[in-house]
Structure 1
Amino acid sequence: MSSRRRALGLCAAALSLGLVAGCGGADQAAPATSTAAQPVSTADLPKAQPGEVHLFGINDLHGNLQPPDGSNGKVGTYTAGGAVYLAAHLARLKAAYPDSAVLASGDNIGASPLISALFHDEPTIDFLNAIGVAASSVGNHEFDHGVAELRRIQQGGCGLDGCSPGEPFTGAKFPYLAANVTDADGQLPAGSKPWTMLELGGHKIGVVGVVTPDTANIVMPEGIRGYRFGDEADAINKNVPAMEAAGAETVVALLHDGGAQQTHGRPADFNGCEDIAPGVKALAHKTDAAVSVMLTAHSHQAYNCTLDGKVVTQAASFGRLVTDVTLRFHDGKVDASAVNRVVTRDITPAPATAKLVDFYAAQAKPRAERVIGTAAAPLPAEPAPAGDSPLGDVIADSMLDAMSSARAVAAFMNPGGVRAGLSGGNITYEQAYTAQPFGNQVVAVSLTGQQILNLLEQQWDNASKPAVLAVAGISYSYSETAPKGHKVIDGSVRMAGEPLNPVAVYRVSTNSFLAAGGDGFTVFTQSSETLVGPIDLDALETYLRARGAVAPPGGRIEKR
């Protein structure tokens, strides 16, 4: 659904694929096979028919090895998810359908809970290896730490800060597919492939993988420098002839991109496809007819469609659903259908997976439970009326404090970098990490007053909604109805309590993602200097320890 415009990974209703606007052909929602009263899971599976092959699709696991909490652990009204239950349901599916394979559509890792993230997401890759994933597309979060780290995840070896506990990390046993990710020479990231071939039940199935082109805007620019993220359908279509030449009888596309149903206030049927986002239809229409199945991702939603003769699905996120795709081969043809099955928790947990999860949970526990500060009241991540969030402002305060020795006078924090709020009372390291999990460096840059004005105006460059930065040391007012480029009210900007001087040079603090132009804030790249400070989470911990009980900040931005 984060990687640095982190809210993108989770705000499904706002997502679209941004491809061709129109789409023709017969678009038909798949019949609803689940209801609020009768979820589809893996009990009482239909008997396999001759010539039948199954593919089990998951997406956007994000390292959720332990059962996710709250709404993240539900599908509709049903509690779902957790690696021990996902493994158990997959084992049941494989027993019923031995001619089968597990496929993933990206964001297996990144923005992960501490049990995975503390160990460079190696526990999640070990889990995916154990359940027999045959292939995965890359997701935007696979690029969180750049193409070099993606190669390590694929090929194995220790992280830059040393090896994780447990067995040596040998990398993913499955290929990462990145057909639309190329450098200037047309080469894919080292270790990745455009497509792979599955042989199941005597049939060959081509599998191609792509990722949203928006990845270029939402991960650390340095980590992907020199790579472009091309049109997804074009990349899929380009590789179809090679797969067919290798004997593929049909093609399955793993796409780390997707949309959402528009249910107009009604609960969404996870096997329905009500008023699906136009971008999903557009992508199905543009993709080669040889593709019979499109397993989508990124928007963390559940749907199941037949669009332009293709089965198009998504299995929510965090391991709460499995898409069970049936391929029936007959008379030189392939019929495809799918059902999203709930990963219920009423099944005996998989013992081997429980052992893996328990090991890493025990390794993470001492650090996770360490108290690093106190909040006098809840610090929400949700935006206040003016657009910034209370927790975002506190993080900006911590970045300003971290660079005070460098004479920084203001700080800026991107809203998508704040993934969860903090409750009142004691703040543990795990809670702080959950709120700010990306490990960016705090930096100070030098900008003129006019450049700072230009930076503030870039908050409204986003096509769907403004990306209002949380701030410290600066205050201003804006008019939402003013023309683009003139939102900030003249004379309202104050730096360190003084009116902004357009020709003066100010040193301001931010994170390394924004400093590199992330989220489209390219003004930061115009800085005349860059000074490097601590990791952002370390800065937040230092700030919380020094301040005692932190209260929600007062308003710094005014919307008129």
Structure 2
Amino acid sequence: MHLFGFNDFHGNLEPPVGSGGKLAGYDSGGAAYFATHLKRLAQKYPNSATLMAGDAVGASPLDSGLFYDEPSIKFYNQLCVSASSVGNHEFDKGIGELARKQTGGCPADGCDPGNLGEGAKYQYLAANVTDAAGKQPPALKPWIMLDLAGRKVGVIGVVTKSTPSIELADNIKGYTFGDEADAVNKYVPDVKKAGAQAIVVLVHEGGSQTVPKGSDADYNKCDNIDKITDGLAARMDSAVNVIISGHSHMPYVCKLHDKLITQASFYGKLITDITLTFNGDKVTSAEAVNRMVTRSVPEDPDAKKLVDFFKQAAGPKVNRVVGSIGGDITKTPLAGGDTALGDLIADSMLAATKDTAKGGAVAAFMNPGGVRADLTAKAGAGVQKQDGQVTYGELYTVQPFNNQVTTLDLTGQQILALLEQQWKNDLGPKVLDIAGITYAFKDAGEAGSKIVADSVKIGDQPLDAAKTYRVATNNFLAGGGDGFTTFTQAKNPSPGPIDVDVFEAYFKAAGSSPVAPLTTGRVTKQ
């Protein structure tokens, strides 16, 4: 029996560009290529099912996001996906919108173009997401049973328990996100009682391989796997055979604690091909291979037709030129951990709010997870722009959340505390992208005492711990997102314009002058 898994597609129907479209140095991904590879596997192995591990939608490019991600749902329906765990991004538009995506019905703006609202023909699973009565969100289930050639496969789905710290509070109001392994173990007896001969867990949580600096992880290995991945496998019931993971955007194939655990990178660059072998009613082996979605195969005609339709429908907005760049501006970390593209976004926030009438901000902060793609100078195949030009569609792909730029008051002491919080994360440091502020940190320092205090400057002036500063950020960080709880202590918060509109205005203000890539970061590592 074969199972095909993937995760974190994020509505990337067109072949992703920049670093998001590369795997081991090769161009990979794109819905029409993905469909060809998957259909070939399904034809070769007819006793199969396709499963997703969350973030199928959300943080999507404009040709999906503009249409409530219905184009992506149509694509997954074409692939005959059976089930998906919810990911944190499935909640980006709230519980009610997620239920509509599951059951069908027209979005708020109607069913045009392209007959939107057919609903997911696959089942979203959320075993660890419950209300006060212990029930899952509307239309969602904790698990389902698949019947494949007479064999029963139970599929349980869970999402990262950290969702409340990385999702807007209003989107998940009234729901608790419990421990992933505890939720799986709660439902294993029910799944076994229903006759499951194999149990598969879809978990929107994962980790990564640790590889030498400057090298790429082998997407079919399990080198020095981290504690998150190992912990998931260790704590789940021994009846679980396979764990298909996601969230961390990493590739791996591991055997841990008598379980197979996999992840398939992100944006549809890999398909995990899992083989279950049975002796009678028992699984005797579980093996997997991550197969690259190359672009050397013909495009699947059904998927291509779908992608082309919504690309054309979004075209007038996607292809509108807003400015130009003098070279690639990427989300690759610079020497201190901040990124050229994230710092540029922070620049745009500061430019939009520095006037007293618009907020009076003197510094700006951007979360690195909100920067979703690179800005590339060279026009890709089929892109309606000239080299160096930047389109609105590209800006939206970089910042697809429609967050509000928010100004608020922080003391200098709170800014120091905020900077220290960058190293208080289980997955490693989350270095904020910044504008109007510079600082240094001690690489060998302990979490909580990394910042070189006298290095912090607002503009060209040393930070005054007792002074109050007006700063700009987005409403996600302002609400304490990504664990930056210091923002919730701020005074006088004032929501403003949408982030992508601010980014567009920044490019327009540059006029005919190309925006130059930042080559030196604003954070110094000592």
Coarse TM-score class (shorter-chain normalised): 0.7 to 0.9
| 1:71-108 per-position Cα deviation (integer Å, ceiling 9, x unaligned) | 54455465543222322333333333333221111121
Q: Give 1:337's aligned amino acid.
A: A
Q: Name the counterpart of 2:301.
A: 351
Displacement of 1:268: 4.9
Contact 2:330 2:375 in 1 (8 A): yes
Residues 1:331 and 2:284 are matched in the alignment: no
Contact 1:409 1:508 in 2 (8 A): yes
Q: Name the counterpart of 1:416.
A: 369
Q: Which is worse superposed, 303-312 or 235-244?
A: 303-312
Aligned length: 508
Residue 278 to residue 389, structure 1, CA distance change in 2 (3 Å): closer
Residues 1:473 and 2:436 are matched in the alignment: yes
Displacement of 1:482: 5.0
Q: Name the counterpart of 1:199.
A: 147
Contact 2:18 2:376 in 1 (8 A): no
Q: Name the counterpart of 2:319.
A: 369
Q: Give 1:165's aligned amino acid.
A: P
Q: Secondary structure at the match of 1:439?
A: coil
Residues 1:141 and 2:89 are matched in the alignment: yes
Displacement of 1:201: 1.4
Q: Name the counterpart of 2:246.
A: 297
Q: Name the counterpart of 1:7.
A: none
Q: Secondary structure at the match of 1:300?
A: coil
Identity of aligned residues (%): 53
Q: Give 2:303's aligned amino acid.
A: T
Contact 1:517 1:523 in 2 (8 A): yes
| 1:125-182 per-position Cα deviation (integer Å, ceiling 9, x unaligned) | 1110111111111122222333333223222334445555211312211111111222
Contact 1:221 1:518 in 2 (8 A): no
Give the Cα separation in 2 of the matches to 1:301 and 1:490. Answer: 35
Residue 342 to residue 464, structure 1, CA distance change in 2 (3 Å): closer
Instruction: Normalising by structure 2, report the TM-score.
Output: 0.87
Q: Which is worse superposed, 403-412 or 174-183?
A: 403-412
Give the Cα separation in 1 of the matches to 2:328 and 2:38. Answer: 39
State which of 192, 201, 216 in structure 2 corresponds to 1:244: 192
Displacement of 1:441: 0.7
| 1:254-294 per-position Cα deviation (integer Å, ceiling 9, x unaligned) | 12223334455776554443443343333223221221222
Q: Which is worse superposed, 358-367 or 279-288?
A: 279-288
Q: Secondary structure at the match of 2:241?
A: strand
Residues 1:129 and 2:113 are matched in the alignment: no
Contact 1:83 1:319 in 2 (8 A): yes
State which of 348, 351, 364 in structure 2 corresponds to 1:401: 351
Displacement of 1:509: 1.3
Give the Cα separation in 2 of the matches to 1:268 and 1:397. Answer: 33
Q: Name the counterpart of 1:307.
A: 256
Residues 1:281 and 2:230 are matched in the alignment: yes
Instruction: Normalising by structure 1, report the TM-score.
Output: 0.82
State which of 524, 529, 539 in structure 1 corresponds to 2:502: 539
Q: Name the counterpart of 1:317.
A: 266
Q: Which is worse superposed, 440-449 or 324-333?
A: 324-333
Contact 2:422 2:430 in 1 (8 A): yes
Q: Name the counterpart of 2:383.
A: none
Give the Cα separation in 1 of the matches to 2:370 and 2:419. Answer: 17
Q: Name the counterpart of 1:43.
A: none
Give the 5 Å matches for 1:375-394: 375-394=325-344
Q: Secondary structure at the match of 1:285?
A: helix
Q: Give 1:392's aligned amino acid.
A: G
Contact 1:402 1:533 in 2 (8 A): no
Contact 1:295 1:314 in 2 (8 A): yes
Residues 1:436 and 2:384 are matched in the alignment: no
Displacement of 1:376: 4.4
Contact 2:15 2:21 in 1 (8 A): yes
Displacement of 1:360: 0.9
Give the Cα separation in 1 of the matches to 2:183 and 2:348. Answer: 43
Query: Which blocks of at least 5 consecutive residues in structure 2 are unaligned?
Result: 378-387
Residue 163 to residue 450, structure 1, CA distance change in 2 (3 Å): farther
Give the Cα separation in 1 of the matches to 2:330 and 2:29. Answer: 25
Contact 1:234 1:287 in 2 (8 A): yes
Residue 429 to residue 481, structure 1, CA distance change in 2 (3 Å): same
Give the Cα separation in 2 of the matches to 1:413 and 1:219. Answer: 15
Residue 333 to residue 372, structure 1, CA distance change in 2 (3 Å): same
Residues 1:174 and 2:122 are matched in the alignment: yes
Contact 2:18 2:373 in 1 (8 A): no
Q: Which is worse superposed, 239-248 or 139-148?
A: 139-148
Give the Cα separation in 2 of the matches to 1:189 and 1:157. Answer: 17
Contact 1:222 1:516 in 2 (8 A): no
| 1:320-357 per-position Cα deviation (integer Å, ceiling 9, x unaligned) | 33223333444332234333234344444322222111
Q: Name the counterpart of 2:384.
A: none
Residue 486 to residue 188, structure 1, CA distance change in 2 (3 Å): same
Displacement of 1:539: 0.6
| 1:386-440 per-position Cα deviation (integer Å, ceiling 9, x unaligned) | 3333332322222123233222332221222223343453222122223222221
Q: Give 2:302's aligned amino acid.
A: A
Q: Give 2:509's aligned amino acid.
A: A
Residue 350 to residue 231, structure 1, CA distance change in 2 (3 Å): same
Q: CA RMSD in A?
A: 2.8
Q: Which is worse superposed, 175-184 or 492-501?
A: 492-501
Query: Which blocks of at least 5 consecutive residues in structure 1 are unaligned?
Result: 1-52
Give the Cα separation in 2 of the matches to 1:295 and 1:100. Answer: 15
